[in-house]
Amino acid sequence: QVQLVESGGGSVQAGGSLRLSCAAIGAAEYTYMSRCVAWFRQSPGKEREGVAQIYTGDRSTLYADYVKGRFTIPRNNAKTTVYLEMNSLDPEDTAMYYCAARGGGTRCRVSMDETDFGYWGQGTQVTVSP
């Protein structure tokens, strides 16, 4: 069984920064395998939406338009841990942030669809105050 564990959430004032971590825990044949890892978020009254994703093989990334220039998935060589660096946070970024991963050996698609992801973390809360 593969588990994803998010951490790094918290409360920050507008304009501040946070770095979220997504650690994969389980069999090495999966946790070290190239795969698609994505960050989703959901706030009350809104649909869950894709924030950013990375394919850990070639480290290609995709970002939602509303986070471009503010959020970044570092393109390192790590496969067991994926980060989300969030800068210039706005109260509209307040949400529960989830890490998700596709099955091992699968690339990311050209869009972020939550139904493509079979592994999910428990979420980490990000609260941005005005």
Query: Is the pLDDT reported for residue 84 higher than 80?
Result: yes
pLDDT recorded at residue 87: 98
85-89 mean pLDDT: 98
Render pLDDT for 16-65 as a digit per residue (tens, 0 to 9): 999 999 999 988 887 788 899 999 999 999 999 999 999 998 999 999 99
pLDDT recorded at residue 12: 98
Q: What percent of the chain has pLDDT over 90?
A: 79
Report the mean per-residue pLDDT for the chain. Answer: 93
Residue 89's alpha-carbon distances to 33, 52, 70, 71, in angstroms, are: 32, 15, 8, 9
36's tokens: 């698609």
- How many other CB atoms are there within 10 angstroms of residue 105's CB atom? 11
